[in-house]
Amino acid sequence: MKPFNNSINKLTSLSDALNTIFSEAFRTCGLDSEYGHVTISQRPDLSDYQCNGALAAAKGAKKNPRLIAQEIINIVKDNPIFTSLTIDGPGFINIKLSDQFLMNQAQLVCKGEYATLLSSNSKKKTIIDFGGPNIAKPMHVGHIRSTVIGDCLQRLFKFLGVPIHSDIHMGDWGTQMGMLICEVQSGFPNLPYFDANFEGPYPSESPVTISDLEEMYPKAATKCKSDEKEMLKAQQATVELQAGRKGYRALWQHFVNISVASLKEDFSQLDVTFDLWCGESHYHDQIPEMIKSLKQNNLAVISDEALVVPIEGENEQEIPPLMLVKSDGGYLYGTTDLATIQERVSDFGDELILYVVDKRQGLHFQQVFLAAHKTGIANSQIRMEHLAFGTVNGTDGKPFKTRAGGVMKLKDLISLAKNEAFKRIEEINGAEKYDENTKSDIANKVGLAALKYGDLMHDRQSDYIFDLSKFTRFEGKTGPYILYAAVRINSILTKAVEQKLAIGPITLLNGNERDLLLELCKFPDVILNAYTYRMPSYLCTFCFDLAQQLNRFYLQCHILKEQNKDLQSSWLGILQLCFFQLETTLYLLGIEIPDHM
RNA sequence: GCGCCCAUAGCUCAAUGGAUAGAGCAGCGGACUUCUAAUCCGCAGGUUGUAGGUUCGAGUCCUACUGGGCGCACCA
C-alpha cells in the first residue's frame, strides 16, 4: 500500500479538503480553480463525493469535458485518500474514498477540536439580538421562533469558538408603556405614582402582579386603538415617562421587575440563557447626544415635523427614511435600534450584529442598517444581519390561535407539549417500570425536544404549520425519534462499559458500517454549513439522517453478541462516535437527552 | 399604487445550475422468542402553478402571467 503522506491530518470539513485538492488540479491544468468545487455525492450508488467542474470548464477551454475530467484525475489519482475516481455521464467525476482514509478521518472527527474549524481572523466579535419580548405582554407562540433559533445560533457560534454574547433586547420603552401607565391610573387614580407633587419614597411593592399586567395589556391596547383620546393620553404618558417623570419611572420599574422575573421563568423552562438583559430603555440616555450629532452633521433632517434620516438603497432604490423623533417629541424603535448599534460597536467592539427577528420587519432592518452605515454609527467593517424567520401557523394554514381564537401563551404551549409527551410515554410498553418522577422528567425532555425540533427543522425563513400531535410523535422526523435513537445507543455503550468491552479503534472490517462512517465524516461539513448560512435546520436534517442510518445499522449488526472481538470494538467505536455527534448536534439545538425512554 | 416572499407527491416539507426531483406522514405489503420493534425493508404516489427565455444542462437564473402571503414615516 502507498504511504499515507498526502492524508489530511487535522480536523477539517471533508468537502473543503477535497476542494483544495481538486482546485489545485484545475489550476495545474491552466483552468480556474473555482471549477475544483467538490460536493457530497448526489448519487451515493456511484460515489461518496463528486466534482462537476469539468463540465463547467469545457466551454471556456473548448475541450471535451470528459477529456478535462481525465486530466484532472491523472493529477490527483495517486493520492491514497481515493479508492476510485471515475468519469460518468457527460463528465462528472465520481470520487470514492478509501476505507483507510475514512477510518483516519473518523478519528479526527471524534477528537472534537471544533473550535479550530474556522480561521481565527474569520471569528468576528458577535452579538446576537433576540428582538426581545415586550414587557407585560406574555410570550406567545411567535416567540418560540426567535428564542429557539437564536439560542441554537449562539450555541453554534460558541461551539466554533466565535466570541458571541446574546442580548434579549426587551421591548420596555415604547407607547405600550404609556398605555399601561394610563390603564393603572384609570383603575387606581389615587396611587402616589400619579401625583406630580409626591416627594417619595414610592412603595417597594408593585401595585400590580404579572397576571394583572397580562390582563391589562390587551385591554389597554384595544382601548387605544378604538379611542383616539386614549391613544393621545398614552402617548403623552410615554413622552413624560421617557422625559423622566419620577412617579412614572417608579411605576415602570415595577412593571419591568415583575415582567423580567416572569420572562426568566419562561426562558429557564426552555433552557435558554442570555448574557445581557438590556431593554430598549437601556439606550435611552444616549439618544439625545446621538441626535444632536446627527443633526449637526446634517445626516438627520426635519420632514413633516418629524426628524428623519433619509436613506436610499442600492441602484437608487427608493426606501422610506428612518424616523428618529416623532412630531410629538417621542422616540421610536428605530431610534433605539440606532443608539443600540452605537453602544454595541463603540463600547463593546462588536463587529457582527445578528438580529433574530420576524421576517415582516425586513424593511425596518433595511432602514436601520442603511442609516447606521450612512451616518457612520457603524463603519463599513461592521456587519449587521437580519436573520429573518417566518410565522407560525395553525393546521388551517392561518396564524396559530387557541381553540377559542385567542393567542396561545408560550407557557401553555410548553406544558401542552410536555403533557402530550407524558401521555405517549404512558402508552408504551414497559412504561410501568418508571415511577411518576422519572416519567415526568422524561416527558419534560421529550416534550421540549418535540417543540424545539418541530420548529428548528423547518427552513428558518419559511412559515411553518405548528402541529403538536405531529411533533410529539415517536415516528418520523421528530425530536422524540432522534432522542430514542440516542438513548438506545447510549444504553448499549453503558452495557459495553459494564462488560468491560474494548471501545474502538474503528476499523472497517465488515462493510456494513461503511455508510454510517461516511455519514459521520460529514459532520464538520454540516456544522460549517449551518454556521455559514445561520441555518439550524441543517443540523436537524443531519441528526435525523444519522439516527436513521444508525437504526439501520443497529438492526443489521448485533453488537453485544458479536463474537469477533475486533469487529465488536470497532462497532462500539463507531457507536461512540455516533453518540458524540448526536449529543453534540442535539446540544446545539438546545435539546437534552434523557437517560431512559 | 410600489416593494418583498412563496407555489414541488393526497398532507407537511427537502433538493450549494448537474445525473433517475428526495424525505417524513397517511396508504398497501413484508421483517420481531428486542443490545429498548418507539425500529427496519419494499411497493405505490410528480407535466416542480402557467407561458416563454438564458444554458452543454433549469425545481433552482431572467421576463410575463395566475394564485396566495406579507410590508410600505409619526405602533413595536
Smallest CA–C1' separation from A325, nucleotide: B74
Run of H or E residues at A223? helix A210-226
Question: What pLDDT, on the 0 to 100 scale, is given for residue A260?
Answer: 94
* Range(s) of chain A covered by CATH 3.30.1360.70: 14-97
- CATH 3.30.565.10 for domain A14-97: no
- Euclidean distance between CA atoms A51 and A38, whole angstroms: 5
- Euclidean distance between CA atoms A299 and A343, whole angstroms: 19
Query: Counting Cβ atoms within 10 Å, is residue A317 exposed (0-12), middle (13-18) or buried (19+)?
Result: exposed
DSSP A415: H
Residues (284-303, chain A) with CB within 7 Å of strand B atoms: 303
Buried b (16+ CB within 10 A) or exposed e, A14-30: bbebbbebbbebbeebe
Question: What pLDDT, on the 0 to 100 scale, is given for residue A7?
Answer: 53
Is cis: bond before A321, omega within 30 of 0?
no
For residue A204, the tally of other CB atoms under 10 A from its CB is 7
Sheet containing A352-358, strands listed edge to edge, beginning at the edge strand earlier in sequence: A164-167, A126-129, A352-358, A383-389
Contacts of A587 (CB under 8 A, 6+ apart): A155
* Range(s) of chain A covered by CATH 1.10.730.10: 410-589
- Euclidean distance between CA atoms A343 and A349, whole angstroms: 9
Chain B nucleotides covered by protein, CB below 7 Å: 2, 4-6, 12-16, 18-20, 23-26, 34-41, 55-57, 69-76
Hey, is A13 helix, strand or coil?
coil
Question: What pLDDT, on the 0 to 100 scale, is given for residue A5?
Answer: 43
State the CATH class of domain A410-589.
Answer: mainly alpha
- Residue A139 CA and nucleotide B40 C1' are separated, in Å, by 41
Question: What pLDDT, on the 0 to 100 scale, is given for residue A8?
Answer: 65
- Euclidean distance between CA atoms A265 and A259, whole angstroms: 10
Residues (501-530, chain A) with CB within 7 Å of strand B atoms: none
* Range(s) of chain A covered by CATH 3.40.50.620: 128-171+277-392
To which residue does cell 415595577 refer?
A254
Residues (458-497, chain A) with CB within 7 Å of strand B atoms: 458-459, 461-465, 470, 473-477, 480-481, 484, 487-488, 491-492, 495
Query: Strand pairing partners for A128?
Result: A166, A354
Mean pLDDT by runs of 10 across the 597 residues of chain A is: 51 91 95 94 92 93 93 95 94 94 88 87 95 86 93 98 96 89 93 89 93 88 85 89 91 94 93 94 93 96 95 81 92 93 94 96 96 96 96 89 84 93 83 85 96 96 94 95 96 95 85 86 95 97 95 92 93 95 97 94
CATH number corresponding to A128-171+277-392: 3.40.50.620
The C-alpha cell at A159 is: 461551539
CB A15 within 8 A of CB A52: no
Run of H or E residues at A24? helix A14-28
Angle at A592 between CA A517 and CA A153, to 5 degrees: 80
Question: What pLDDT, on the 0 to 100 scale, is given for residue A312?
Answer: 83
Is cis: bond before A505, omega within 30 of 0?
yes
- Euclidean distance between CA atoms A597 and A588, whole angstroms: 21
Nucleic strand B under 7 Å from the C-beta of A548: yes
CB A255 within 8 A of CB A135: yes
CB A73 within 8 A of CB A93: yes
- Residue A546 CA and nucleotide B39 C1' are separated, in Å, by 14
